[in-house]
Amino acid sequence: MQHVARMSACRGAMAQQLNQLAPSCSSSLFTNPFRIQSVRSFSPSLHVVACRRSSIRCSSSSHSGDSEKPAVGFLGLGIMGTAMATNLIRAGYNVSVWNRNPSKCEPLISQGASGGASPADIASQCNITFAMLADPAAALEVASGKGGVIHGLGPCKGYVDVSTVDGETSKTISGLVKATGASFLEAPVSGSKKPAEDGTLIFLTAGDKQLYEQAAPLLDIMGKSRFYLGEVGNGAAMKLIVNMIMGSMMASFSEGLVLGNKIGLDPNTIVEVISQGAISAPMFSMKGPSMVNKKFSPAFPLKHQQKDLRLALQLAEAVSQSVPVAASANELYKVAKCKGLGDQDFSAVIEAIISK
Going by C-alpha positions, the residue among 234, 151, 146, 231 that lies closest to residue 188 is 234
Options 69, 157, 239, 307, the catalytic residue: 239
Q: Residue 73: enclosing H or E segment and its boundaries? A: strand 72-75
- The neighbouring-strand residues paired with 319 are none
Q: Are 204 and 91 in contact (CB under 8 A)?
A: no
The burial class, CB within 10 Å (0-12 / 13-18 / 19+), for 243 is buried
In the chain, the amino acid numbered 278 is: A
How many other β-carbons are positioned within 10 Å of the β-carbon of residue 262? 9
Tell me, yes or no, if 294 is annotated catalytic.
no
How far is residue 35's CA from residue 158's CA, in Å, rounded to a whole number?
19
How far is residue 304's CA from residue 244's CA, in Å, rounded to a whole number?
11
Catalytic residues: 239
